[in-house]
Amino acid sequence: MTTPKKPEPIKDISELKALLQLAVGLELSTIPVYLTALYSIKDGTNTDAAQTIRSVVMEEMLHMALAANVLNALGEAPSVKPVDFRGHKGLKPVPEYPLDNPLISGIGELALRPLTRQAVDSFVKIEHPFHGAAAVGAIRCAENSYPTIGEFYEAIMTALEEKCTDQDFSATRQVRATEYYGGAGQAIEVKDRKTAVAAIHKIIDEGEGLPEGKLEEQAKKVTDEDRLNSGWQMYSHYARFRELQTGRRFRTDQKAGDEPKGSLLLVDYGAVHPAMFVQRNGATTGGPEGAALNEFDLAYSQLVDDLYLAFAGGRKKVKDKLAPNGERTGDPLPLAVHGMYALKNKAVALMRTPNPVNPAHTLCPRFFYANAEDRTKLQDEIKHWKGQTR
């Protein structure tokens, strides 16, 4: 690996669309990492940590919607299909874990872990402007890759400002502000260059891509739209995770780059299910445990499908006993939100189940996105393993 010069600017609209497809996937890639830690917290414990992680997850979903809105406005619907970008072939928008993002080198490996000190350290690294490095030049990355998430989004911002004309935009298939809830900020409907830039800026301002200069700003700096009705202040993801990492809140007069010195924020790492991630091609577990892991993967795959269908402006048929033919056409976005709550129940059940291969640990969700062929295999395995237990 070498430290190459900064990647060349995006040269045309096809490259911009490819990066926006991958931006939707980039925002998705952090969600299972954070959810695994969140779902591992035992009931009634670590309420502050749970609130922090949950708030970030909701904003990552908003960031997915913002990137999707920009892509839709440029005439291309978000898709789970692999994307080519320069020397990178077949980049998957929907990640597999553990993940080493081939397009952004500084993040490092994204792994699924319960709430541990190591997990929180990785959260801080994801959200840091240089992903923990002293400077962007200290990050080693491959050709046609970006050293940081910030550089990745800067390339998109520059292309939106310089390469796209107003005629390139059309306010179609937009996730509206009224359709998103649960975190700070709101969805921006993209109809022109100005709103496209504003959407990307919101992603950068709240979380990934945090500019270096933000470290010298007030840690708890918030705007009116960063406040929830509860009074919770949604300052940057980096600052929130630094508070978890250090076990202290930032004082209002501190900068984001400072060591938090405010009130205690206690995290009990002992009040966590000892889940251990096992890849599908690793040490396998059959029987009811294997069936439960597969059932989670199928539910997660459906959730991802519903999200992408919503972002692409699609509709979904759902069962409804009150409808004339027993079904109705509904908006897939609320269904996806409902699916996330159902996913939590499955995840918690897994994390309470001892791993027969390693009884000191419990099962861990794999967040494996299965294509049509994979789903058939998962279903066949479920039938086989459940049949063995009868």
DSSP string across 229-285: TT--B---HHHHHHHHHHTBPPPTT-BTTSPP-SSB----TTSB--EE---TTSS--
* Residue keyed to tokens 């109705």: 328
Residue 51 is predicted with a pLDDT of 92
User: What pLDDT sits at residue 349?
Assistant: 96
Residues, the chain:
390
pLDDT recorded at residue 250: 96
More confident residue, 220 or 165: 220
Q: Is the pLDDT of residue 225 over 60?
A: no
Tell me the residue type at 34.
Answer: Y
pLDDT for 239 equals: 92
- Asked if 36 contacts 98 with a C-beta cutoff of 8 angstroms, the reply is no
Q: How far apart are the first and last CA of the chain?
A: 53
Percent of the chain with pLDDT over 70: 86
H or E element at residue 317: strand 316-319
Rounded Cα gap, residues 40 and 356, in angstroms: 18
Q: Give me the pLDDT at residue 335, please.
A: 75
- Report the C-alpha gap between 8 and 218 in whole angstroms: 33
pLDDT for position 143: 84
Fold of 13-246: Ferritin (1.20.1260)
Pairing of strands 275-276, 358-363: parallel
Question: What pTM value is reported for the model?
Answer: 0.92
Residue 268's CB is within 10 A of a number of other CB atoms, namely 12
Select the more confidently predicted residue: 180 or 292.
292
Domains in the chain: boundaries: 13-246, 283-388
pLDDT for position 7: 79
Report the mean per-residue pLDDT for the chain: 87
Q: At 110, is the pLDDT very low, low, confident or very high (cuts 50, 70, 90)? A: very high
CB 152 within 8 A of CB 146: yes
Q: What phi and psi, each to the nearest 5 degrees, are found at residue 317?
A: -85, 130
| pLDDT top residue among 168 and 373 | 373
pLDDT greater than 60 at residue 390: no
Instruction: For residues 82 and 62, give the distance between their C-alpha atoms in angstroms, rounded to a whole number.
Output: 22
pLDDT in tens, 6-19: 678 999 999 999 99
Per-residue model confidence (pLDDT) at position 313: 84
Residue 28 has pLDDT above 80, yes or no: yes
For residue 323, what pLDDT band results from cuts at 50, 70 and 90?
low
Assess whether the previous peptide bond of 147 is cis (omega < 30° from 0). no
Question: What band does 1 get if pLDDT is binned at 50, 70 and 90?
Answer: very low
pLDDT at 236 over 90: no
Q: Is the pLDDT of residue 273 over 70?
A: yes
Confidence of residue 212 (pLDDT cuts 50, 70, 90): confident
C-alpha 273/C-alpha 291 separation (Å) is 20
Q: What is the pLDDT of residue 281?
A: 64
Mean pLDDT of 273-291: 82
Q: Are 241 and 52 in contact (CB under 8 A)?
A: yes
